[in-house]
Every structure is written in structure tokens, then in C-alpha cells.
């Protein structure tokens, strides 16, 4: 999986570099699409790492590591859903 993460990293870097170059010379939809894709790729890397650790923990039957990883996933998902719902930070979910 680390080879895949490295590929995503380099593709994200390339998309950001080309997108920035396009944005500086000819701002438009193509530049925005490349910049967005590059940022999404960078956001995807930690998610891929969490999946990698979860799979390794299941294979090794390391339930403590799996539980800790799943707690991190739940926290990230809760924050993402809270932000997507437009709730103010610091407010408790009902």
C-alpha cells in the first residue's frame, strides 16, 4: 500500500504544480480542477494510511491497534459530518 500512497503523493504534487501554473497564466476551470484534485489527493493519503493500519491490525490480530484506529476514523468522520452540516465549532451534537 505504501507504493500506492507514494503514487498518490506524486500525482497530487504534479496536479498542484500544473494547476498552479495554469492558474497563474490562464485562470479557469482546468486550473481549479487540477488544484482541487491535488488537494483531494493529499487529503486521501492519511485515509489510505488508516486503511493500511486497519488491515495490518486485522491480519496480525492486534485488536488494540485496530480499536485505536477505528476511534480515529470515527472522530474524523464526526468532524467531517459536523462541518458538512454547517454546525458551529464547539457546539455539541444533539
pLDDT at residue 34 is higher than 60: yes
In 57-70, which positions are buried (b, 16+ CB within 10 angstroms) versus exposed (e)? Answer: beeeeeeeebeebe
Would you say residue 92 lies in a domain?
no
Domain assignment of residue 17, yes or no: yes
Average pLDDT, the chain: 88
Domain interval for residue 64: 2-85
Whole-number pLDDT of residue 69: 93
Q: Is residue 10 part of a domain?
A: yes
Q: How many domains does the chain have?
A: 1
The answer as to whether 72 is a domain residue is yes
3-state helix, strand, coil split of the chain in percent (to 5) is: 85, 0, 15
Predicted local confidence at residue 91, as pLDDT = 56
Output the pLDDT for position 85.
79
More confident residue, 4 or 85: 4
Amino acid at each position: 500500500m505504501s507504493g500506492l500512497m507514494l503514487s498518490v503523493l506524486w500525482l497530487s504534487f504534479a496536479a498542484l504544480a500544473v494547476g498552479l501554473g495554469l492558474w497563474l497564466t490562464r485562470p479557469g476551470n482546468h486550473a481549479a480542477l487540477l488544484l482541487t484534485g491535488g488537494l483531494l489527493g493529499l487529503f486521501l493519503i492519511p485515509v489510505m494510511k488508516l486503511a493500511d493500519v486497519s488491515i495490518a491490525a486485522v491480519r496480525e490480530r492486534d485488536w488494540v491497534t485496530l480499536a485505536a484506529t477505528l476511534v480515529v476514523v470515527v472522530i474524523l468522520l464526526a468532524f467531517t459530518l459536523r462541518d458538512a452540516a454547517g454546525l458551529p465549532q464547539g457546539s455539541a451534537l444533539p
